[in-house]
């Protein structure tokens, strides 16, 4: 097997990744691309980067193309990540939304977790919202959770997490929303309880492709996703996504991201929170 991706081939791979999913693989990412490619070559038995590139671009093996995209996306996430967002939901956004919905007699709440990775974000949102809803059964509450990677979506759909992974969940929510189960190593795993799971629907969605739903969503979370995109792709994405927000709906981005310098119609609320 080769062990160096040539500069020419690196450019071809990065252009492909950029065109297909908006991710910006700049020169500094060459080692990362190479490591991920080595893994795919080992698993597929393909013996050169060049051949691998031809296979995924020829359309001959669309499954391997999805595996390739899976392997280059970064999926780090955890429960209740960026707690300021959950504090804002608890203290401001949810009490206001629920009061308005009750006043309008419209008990429908929709949230989109765009770039949901292995599910920690949408499940945290579900726990947070359900803890606020008076008479839960009366509400029509759903979360749409999407990601480009089929691998992370499988984990998300299973909804089983190690004890270590659920440490960030506040104790009362942990107690109420997970079921303990044993695993092969004798350590417990924790499964998302059915009342949480049924509020979340997972779908594969590449932001660069068409969106097969209409919205509108009361809240959209697109956190720690745009960081991998260049400004042009970020601006396109924000404007597309903003079109799916309900009037007054909130848009959340990661705290290391910001919409500064992008042209969009949303108003700034506080760091990493915008409003339609
Ligand atoms: C770092 S994770 C963020 C997870 C979660 N939102 C959070 O903040 O913890 C970024 C996710 O964006 C997804 N992603 C990257 N490019 C994408 C694209 N073009 N379309 C959809 N999802 C994409 C990746 O697969 C990955 O799971």
Is there a single domain that holds both residue 44 and residue 91? no
CATH number, domain at 103? 3.40.50.150
**2: confidence class by pLDDT, cuts 50, 70, 90:** low
Expressed in angstroms and rounded, the spacing between residue 222 Cα and the centre of ligand 1 is: 8
Same domain, 103 and 20: no
Nearest Cα residue to atom 13 of ligand 1: 115
Atom of ligand 1 nearest to the CA of 147: 22
- Given the residues 147, 189, 218, 223, select the one marked as catalytic: 147
The domain boundary, picked from 46, 72, 98, lies at 72
**What are the pLDDT digits (tens) for 59-103?**
888 889 888 988 888 889 999 999 999 999 999 999 999 999 999
Using CB distances shorter than 6 Å, the residues near ligand 1 are: 21-23, 73-77, 81, 115, 117, 121, 147-149, 152, 205-208, 223-225, 254
* Residue of 73, 79, 120, 240 with the most ligand 1 atoms within 8 Å of its CB, for mutation: 73
Of all atoms in ligand 1, which is nearest to the CA of residue 113? 6
Each residue of 236-263: pLDDT tens digit?
999 999 999 999 999 999 998 889 999 9
What's phi and psi for 205, nearest 5 deg? -150, 125
Residue 36 among the catalytic residues: yes
Average pLDDT over every residue of 44-65: 91
The full length of the chain comes to 276
- Mean pLDDT in residue range 182-202: 91
**Do 57 and 114 belong to one domain?**
no
Same structural domain, 60 and 96: no
What is the CA 132 to chain-centroid distance, rounded?
23
Last residue of a domain, one of 21, 43, 72: 72
My answer on whether 22 and 113 are in the same domain is no
The rounded radius of gyration (Å) of the Cα atoms in the chain is: 20
Domain around 39: 7-72
Residue 147 designated active-site: yes
Rounded to the nearest 5 percent, the helix, strand and coil shares of the chain are: 45, 20, 30
Count of the separate structural domains present in the chain: 2
Which one of 42, 72, 102 terminates a domain? 72
DSSP 73: S
What pTM was estimated for this model as a whole? 0.92
């Amino acid at each position: 097997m080769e062990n160096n991706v040539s500069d020419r081939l690196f450019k071809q791979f990065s252009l492909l990744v950029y065109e297909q999913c908006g991710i910006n693989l700049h020169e500094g990412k060459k080692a990362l691309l190479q490591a991920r490619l080595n893994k795919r070559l080992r698993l597929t038995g393909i013996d050169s980067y060049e051949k691998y590139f031809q296979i995924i671009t020829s359309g001959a093996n669309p499954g391997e193309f999805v595996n390739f995209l899976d392997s280059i996306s970064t999926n780090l996430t955890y429960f209740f990540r960026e707690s300021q967002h959950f504090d804002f939901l608890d203290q401001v956004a949810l009490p206001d939304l629920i009061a308005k919905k009750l006043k309008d007699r419209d008990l429908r709440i929709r949230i989109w977790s765009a770039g949901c990775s292995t599910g920690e974000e949408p499940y945290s949102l579900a726990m947070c919202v359900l803890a606020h809803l008076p008479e839960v059964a009366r509400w029509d509450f759903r979360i749409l959770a999407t990601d480009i990677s089929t691998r992370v979506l499988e984990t998300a759909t299973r909804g089983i997490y190690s004890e270590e992974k659920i440490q960030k969940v506040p104790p009362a929510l942990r107690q109420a929303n997970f079921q303990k189960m044993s695993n092969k190593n004798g350590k417990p795993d924790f499964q998302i309880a059915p009342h949480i799971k049924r509020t979340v629907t997972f779908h594969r969605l590449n932001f660069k492709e068409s969106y097969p739903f209409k919205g509108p969503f009361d809240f959209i979370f697109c956190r720690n996703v745009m960081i991998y995109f260049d400004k042009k792709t970020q601006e396109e994405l924000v404007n597309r996504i903003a079109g799916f927000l309900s009037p007054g709906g909130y848009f959340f981005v990661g705290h290391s991201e910001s919409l500064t310098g992008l042209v969009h119609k949303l108003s700034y609320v506080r760091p990493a929170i915008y409003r339609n």
